[in-house]
Amino acid sequence: MGGLPQEWLMELHRFVPKSDLTIILDAPVDTVVSRLSSRRELEVFEVDKEFLSRVREILLRRASMYNYPVINADRELRLVVDDVYGLITNALRRVA
């Protein structure tokens, strides 16, 4: 992927506190671009579907590596919200 090397970015994250919960909302790139463009004018990187596909692949790989939950965001908003709410509720129960 162009831009900054992933290894360098990962090294920087060593100093960032670990999150209690990371949730990946996943949807096909065409769906994401369509949703974004229906709200506003897109930024330069948001129209580059190849770039967005690479970012998606990286995020899904990281989710697999670190056991992050991945929610299918290519569904009705209500279903996505219910899934996110369930993950947050369960995480809060574990720390309470």
Domain assignment present for residue 68? The answer is: yes
In a domain, residue 38? The reply is yes
The answer to whether residue 6 is domain-embedded is no
For 71, other C-beta atoms within 10 Å of its C-beta total: 19
Domain total in the chain:
1
Q: What is the pTM of this model?
A: 0.79
Q: Is residue 91 part of a domain?
A: yes
| pLDDT < 50 positions in the chain | 1
**How far is Cα 1 from Cα 9, in angstroms, rounded to an integer?**
12
Assess if residue 85 is contained within a domain. yes
In a domain, 89, yes or no: yes
Q: Supply the range of the domain harboring residue 53.
A: 16-95
